[in-house]
Structure 1
Amino acid sequence: MSTNVVSVLNDLIETSKDGEKGFLKAAEETRDASLKLLFQDRAQACTTGARELQEIVQRLGGTPETGGSVAGALHRGWVDVKSAVTGHGDHAILAECERGEDSAKKNYREALDKDLPADVRAVVERQYQGVLENHDRIRDLRDQHAAAKS
């Protein structure tokens, strides 16, 4: 069972690393000081979450992931292209961040469908709640920026 648990956790580590890199990229792209701080804070939260999962993988005797996924790299590349086309608009950046959080929500939901030990499940559940809060906060900000544009 622990090999499967390690695999599930390594997938979530990749998800967290993707979030970290995506939020750092968003912080670079925005000109809004409050969004920059928010994105930097969210990147730090992703870093902390990844470290926590890496420690569990090591405790289980596995080798923890250290990087993000290919899909995450492609997503960040798409953010670059879209930012160049839209002139780094905050609405577009927030929309991309929300899309990234949609992916994280899906990955965490799938992990919670797996057979995880109770202590591991508790950590994944807590992190999933953080992903949901991130998503909703980013979505609300995206909607505010959309309203401001019109």
Structure 2
Amino acid sequence: MESNKKIVENLTHLLSIINDGKEGYKNAAENADSPELRALFTTYSIQRAEFEMEMKSFIRQFGGDADNQHGGPLGVLHRTWIDIKTALTPNDNSAVLGAAITGETSAMKAYDEVLTDGNLTYELRQELVSQREAIHECLRNIQNLEKQYAHS
């Protein structure tokens, strides 16, 4: 079914973004000098691992290969989470937070695009909305932290 193929492509793209976020937060947690940031980034990395499991379940449900980590044709869009790896410099919490903001903003846009698909099942739409809301909450928290670190 053509609509399933498109859904699988979109979900695979989101899976790539989720994995980028998981790894980005893991790297950020390992390199942050603040215990508060290490704990927060570890929490967000674990959250993305949970998103990953849910996304893989839906990909399988729609007949896709959930072990494909590379994404479909949409995967050629840049992955801003890679910026975290290059932004990590010792004791530069502001750069890490800035890279996280860029990544989360990009992730939200990707979710918004997928949510325009009228062929999504109710259950899938609810899960995507829930994940997007969680990402938005992360973004707000990180933006607030960035303001705090910019003034310290």
Q: Does 1:114 align with 2:117?
A: yes
**2:143 corresponds to:** 139
The verdict on how the C-alpha distance between 1:40 and 1:60 changes in structure 2, with shifts beyond 3 A counting, is: same
- Consecutive unaligned residues in structure 2, runs of 5 or more: none
Give, in angstroms, the shift of residue 31 of structure 1. Answer: 1.0
**2:102 corresponds to:** 99
- Consecutive unaligned residues in structure 1, runs of 5 or more: none
Q: Does 1:82 align with 2:87?
A: yes
Q: Is the 8 A contact 1:14 1:65 kept in 2?
A: no
Residues matched between the structures, number: 144
Give every structure 1 segment of 4 or more consecutive aligned residues whose post-TM-superposition deviation is greater than 2 Å: 65-72, 78-84
Q: Does 1:21 align with 2:23?
A: yes
**1:57 corresponds to:** 59
Give, in angstroms, the shift of residue 75 of structure 1. Answer: 4.3
**2:12 corresponds to:** 10
Identity among equivalent positions (%) equals 24
**Inter-partner Cα distance in structure 2 for 1:145 and 1:114:** 39
Question: In angstroms, what is the RMSD of aligned CA positions?
Answer: 1.7
- Amino acid in the other structure paired with 2:86: V
**Inter-partner Cα distance in structure 1 for 2:127 and 2:96:** 29
Give, in angstroms, the shift of residue 82 of structure 1. Answer: 3.2
**Inter-partner Cα distance in structure 2 for 1:136 and 1:7:** 28
Per residue, is there more helix in 1 or in 2?
1
Q: Is the 8 A contact 2:21 2:81 kept in 1?
A: no
Give, in angstroms, the shift of residue 88 of structure 1. Answer: 3.7
**Inter-partner Cα distance in structure 1 for 2:135 and 2:91:** 24
Q: Is the 8 A contact 2:101 2:143 kept in 1?
A: yes
Q: Is the 8 A contact 2:12 2:69 kept in 1?
A: no
TM-score (norm 1): 0.88
**Inter-partner Cα distance in structure 1 for 2:55 and 2:95:** 30
